[in-house]
Amino acid sequence: MAGVTRTPTNLTQGSKTKGGIGESTLRPDGTLKVTGEFAYSSDLWHEDMLWGFTLRSTEAHAELVSIDTSEALAQPGVYAVLTYDDLPADVKHYGLEIQDTPVLAHGKVRHHGEPVAIVAADHPETARRAAAKIKIEYRQLPLVTDEASALAEDAPLIHEGRDDHHIGHVPHPNIVHRQPIIRGNADEARKKADVIVEGEYVFGMQDQAFLGPESGLAVPSEDGGVELYVATQWLHSDLRQIAPVLGLPEEKVRMTLSGVGGAFGGREDISMQIHACLLALHTGKPVKIVYNRFESFFGHVHRHPAKLWYEHGATKDGKLTHMKCRIVLDGGAYASASPAVVGNASSLSAGPYVIDDVEIEAIALYTNNPPCGAMRGFGAVQACFAYEAQMDKLADKLGLDRVAFRQLNAMEQGTIMPTGQPVDSPAPVAELLRRVKAMPLPPERQWESSEGADVRQLPGGLSNTTHGEGVVRGVGYAVGIKNVGFSEGFDDYSTAKVRMEVVAGEPVATVHTAMAEVGQGGVTVHAQIARTELGVTQVTIHPADTQVGSAGSTSASRQTYVTGGAVKNACELVREKVLEIGRRKMGTFHPAWATAELLLEGGKVITDGGEVLADLVDVLEDEVVELEEEWRHRPTVAFDLETGQGDGHVQYSFAAHRAVVEVDTELGLVKVIELACAQDVGKALNPLSVVGQIQGGTTQGLGVAVMEEIIVDPKTAKVRNPSFTDYLIPTILDTPTIPVDVLELADEHAPYGLRGIGEAPTLSSTPAVLAAIRNATGLELNKTPVRPEHLTGT
């Protein structure tokens, strides 16, 4: 890690217990994962279990004329075949915010791959063969695939009879949500501009591409309920959607998190959870469902593809005068998280810059394309791609250095956002740009090193397609702003239960939350918080389940902030209870028990001057202290539906990138040599994990810049590349050097001064790569991902 700046926060209780906050402690699951021994949800097994399978539609928009399941039911080894008509409860739809998604298709299908029927059998291949025997008659309906077909006067309605709370403020029923933001007077400010630039940008549909496909095991219980072991991002949200469909009270649906093989937003929605539970309750047997990769592409939402139009103006000395933009997000057939993505895209569409006069509109459409929802960056990624291209255009037109132009207009603490909300924590945008620009550039023509030629350093790599002829280097910069936590008035809270006791002669803390560990490292950080606050070495992380209060979703860069805050809060209360016990038991032995500031450290009770008063083992003898506490961040409000004004966000995070690429301009091949990043993290609770998060987010941004896109046939709305053969993601050979410069400027409103970090690097890495390719080729390149034909004109 290069150039780490540490700013004292003075926000901890002061414990120096080994393995606490600020140390690079190792993940408890790390060795198991890299050796292949970790148990993921796909490894679950139960005696006498059945296998479930989902039959999906082969059409994108069609009436279901008939479904014949008789042949499938007659197949030996088949225990159940269920369709919409077999659902047991009155509630037959679910959804994160809008309950518009049918458990199984009814009346018609709205997208390619929509679940139509589910099968349970004694072997996975038997289930698949039985599903293939289900006969479905479709009658094709007109397709809605883009804005023009969605908003035409005679456009088919994706959801007839909509009655959700957004319908009253959208101009057409095929618009999920619309959010304008108006501040100042963009038309008047436009008159002050010496230069004006416009741009139209297209952002492709990206898949989360997690390693572990959707999977889980449902086990019927004796009380008529069900136990569900599943890989998910949000246990309690799943519970809220599952129980009504099963016709069960929530207390009879008991959920436990199983090993999660990545998420990135793709597990925030329901996939196989309800189907497995329905089959288990219907058959009275445990049912396991594991998607293969093909099914996974249809089984979860994707990142919204977007079309964006921007206009910026600036004075001749480089000050931004105004901004106008229109962002159209394709939400696909069902709402999922589209309303919140619209809120993010609109409120963050101006980027980390001071612009007093803005006119913004963002909408999400219902179409017959695949459903889209949460993915790392959540609306801010698409906007950053466009506004950063605009910044380069403006700088070039003014003849100014691209980084200096950004720094001149960079926001800082106290800047007013387009929504009218002041930025009330550090916003070191100019400093991050300075740092990333100051990092040493990699040497040129690395393939001609003294050790001999290395084709891996060339565009095309091991394919050996070029030997350096026509290879041009380009350098590009970008910076982005991302919100942290759920916004717009959402009651964003988390719960933690902390227990402290003596086990085998040693003080031990147990932390129990419903946080989904999806690879972000919460299980490491929670133990670090407990060691810091309780002064113990041994910390047990209880498996996440619904037997404790909600921890919310592992998304929006919120878990360390919110669930970490809940763990910290619960630990502080447990500490006070332990000290209260100590005062009662031992207070007569030393006056410091009553007069001094007391801490727990190294398994002992000490004064703030370092004097040891007692061993925790003695204090906790025959005692168990356990408390469950909620923690909420400061409140937010919904954006005004006419002006977009309102304090809608909790916290902002910032990252800047410099990309260095080499392009074979004749073959259209790109090699990203380096993606340097500078990011403010507030407080690095685990520095090693912080760098890993930044490098991971950077790599996902690289993927969408040069290779990742789900291709949907515009004529049929069918997915053309649902496999890793045709949907490309970066491998180790594509991933560049990613030096990271971590800045720590504490946010006084956050636990330990921390700042959510996981998403911000995904924003700026994509436009930085595009800027570098433009720098190398001179081409405009307003679409992601960049393909060889875009560079060669073929």
The whole-chain average pLDDT of the chain stands at 95
> Strand 253-257's sheet: what is its strand order?
78-82, 115-121, 50-56, 287-290, 215-220, 226-230, 253-257
Q: Where are the beta strands (DSSP E) in 425-574?
A: 448-449, 452-453, 471-484, 493-503, 506-512, 538-541
**Cα distance between residue 756 and residue 654, in whole Å:** 10
Q: What is the pLDDT of residue 4?
A: 46
**What pLDDT is stored for residue 450 in this prediction?**
57
Q: Minimal CA–CA distance to 273: which of 226, 318, 320? A: 226
Q: Kindly report the CA angle at 443 between 441 and 445, in degrees rounded to 5? A: 135
Beta strands in 300-454 (DSSP E): 306-314, 320-330, 358-365, 448-449, 452-453
What single DSSP character describes residue 576? H
Tokens 């950077």, residue? 698
12 pLDDT higher than 50: no
The fraction of the chain above a pLDDT of 90, given in percent, is 92
Q: Could you give the CA distance from residue 97 to residue 95 in angstroms, rounded to a whole number?
A: 6
User: Would you call 612 exposed, middle or buried from its count of C-beta atoms within 10 A (0-12, 13-18, 19+)?
Assistant: exposed
pLDDT at res. 23: 95
CA distance 165 to 489: 15
Burial group, residue 165, by CB count within 10 angstroms (0-12, 13-18, 19+): exposed
Domain layout of the chain by residue ranges: 30-38+493-632, 41-141+217-260+267-292, 436-487+650-792
Contact call for residues 22 and 684 (beta carbons, < 8 A): yes
Asked if 73 and 149 count as a contact pair (C-beta separation under 8 A), the reply is no
Structure tokens at 378: 């959540």
Sign of the alpha-carbon torsion through 610, 613, 617, 619: negative
Q: Per-residue b/e over 284-307, b at no fewer than 16 CB within 10 Å?
A: ebbbbbbbeeebbbbbbbbbbbbb
Q: Do domains 30-38+493-632 and 436-487+650-792 have the same CATH topology?
A: yes
Neighbours of 132 (CB within 10 A): 14
Residue 387's alpha-carbon distances to 91, 147, 292, 315, 477, in angstroms, are 43, 22, 38, 17, 12
- Residue 185 CA to residue 193 CA, distance in Å, equals 13
The percent helix, strand, coil of the chain (3-state, each to 5) is 30, 25, 45
In the block, tokens 């004292």 appear at 8
Q: pLDDT, tens digit, for every residue of 66-114? A: 999 999 999 999 999 999 999 999 999 999 999 999 999 999 999 999 9
The values of phi and psi at residue 667, to 5°, are -100, -10
β-strand pairing of 320-330 with 306-314: antiparallel
Per-residue pLDDT of 233-249, as tens digits, reads 999 999 999 999 999 99
pLDDT tops 70 at residue 24: yes
Is pLDDT of 138 > 80?
yes
pLDDT digits (tens, 9 = 90+) for 182-209: 999 999 999 999 999 999 999 999 999 9
Phi then psi dihedrals of residue 260, to 5 deg = -105, 125
Residue 398: per-residue pLDDT: 98
Higher pLDDT among residues 10 and 429, named by residue: 429
Tell me the pLDDT band of 465, cut-offs 50, 70 and 90. Answer: confident
Q: Please name the residue ranges forming H helices in 205-284.
A: 235-246, 273-283
For the beta carbon of residue 635, count every other beta carbon within 10 angstroms: 11
Least confident of 10-19, 223-232, 297-306: 10-19
Which of 404, 462, 421, 471 minimizes the C-alpha distance to 444? 471
CB 705 within 8 A of CB 785: yes
Can you tell me whether residue 121 is helix, strand or coil? strand
Instruction: Give me the CATH topology for the region 436-487+650-792.
Output: Aldehyde Oxidoreductase; domain 4 (3.30.365)
- Whether residue 50 contacts residue 283, with contact meaning beta carbons closer than 8 Å, is answered with yes
- Rounded CA separation 214/268 (Å): 11
* Cα–Cα dist 138/140, whole Å: 6
Is there a cis peptide before residue 785, judged by omega within 30 degrees of 0?
Answer: yes
User: What pLDDT score does 451 carry?
Assistant: 64
Cα–Cα distance measured from residue 646 to residue 636, given in angstroms and rounded to the nearest whole number? 8
Question: For residues 783 and 718, is the Cβ–Cβ distance under 8 A?
Answer: no
Q: If DSSP codes are grouped into helix, strand and coil, which group holds residue 336? A: coil
Pairing of strands 740-744, 2-6: parallel
- Residues 6 or more apart whose Cβ sits within 8 Å of residue 450: none
Q: Which residues contact 722 (CB under 8 A, 6 or more apart)?
A: 293, 294, 297, 298, 710
Find the range with the poorest average confidence among 10-14, 367-371, 505-509, 692-696. 10-14
List, in sequence order, the alpha helices (H) in 491-629. Answer: 522-534, 559-586, 592-595, 616-620
Backbone angles phi, psi at 86, to 5 degrees: -95, 0
Tokens of 475: 């350098």
User: How many CB atoms lie under 10 A from the CB of residue 766?
Assistant: 31
CB 540, CB 525: distance < 8 Å: no
Q: Name the pairing type of β-strands 358-365 and 320-330.
A: parallel
Rounded to an integer, what distance in angstroms lies between the CA atom of residue 38 and that of residue 33? 5
Tens of pLDDT, residues 414-462: 999 999 999 999 999 999 999 999 999 999 888 876 566 788 888 988 8
Whether the predicted pLDDT of 612 surpasses 90: yes
Four-residue CA torsion sign, 117, 141, 208, 550: negative
φ, ψ at 254 (rounded to 5°): -105, 120
**Domain 30-38+493-632 of CATH type 3.40.50.300:** no
What count of Cα atoms within 13 Å lies in the side-chain half-sphere of residue 748?
5
List, for residues 760-778, the tens digit of each pLDDT value.
999 999 999 999 999 999 9
Of residues 664, 681, 663, the one with CA closest to residue 672: 663
Would you give the distance in Å from CA 278 to the centre of its chain? 28
Q: Is the pLDDT of residue 464 over 90?
A: no
Under a CB-based contact definition with an 8 Å cutoff, are residues 701 and 655 in contact? no
The DSSP bridge pattern shows strands 108-109 and 62-68 to be: antiparallel
Strand residue runs (E) in 665-757? 669-680, 740-744
Closest CA to 21 of 783, 794, 750: 750
> Is the predicted pLDDT of residue 7 greater than 50, yes or no?
no
Q: From the CA atom positions of the chain, what is the Rg in Å?
A: 27
Q: Provide the CATH topology of domain 41-141+217-260+267-292.
A: Aldehyde Oxidoreductase; domain 3 (3.90.1170)
* Mean pLDDT (whole number) for 269-288: 98
Rounded to whole angstroms, how far apart are CA atoms 158 and 143? 9
Residue 461: what pLDDT?
A: 84
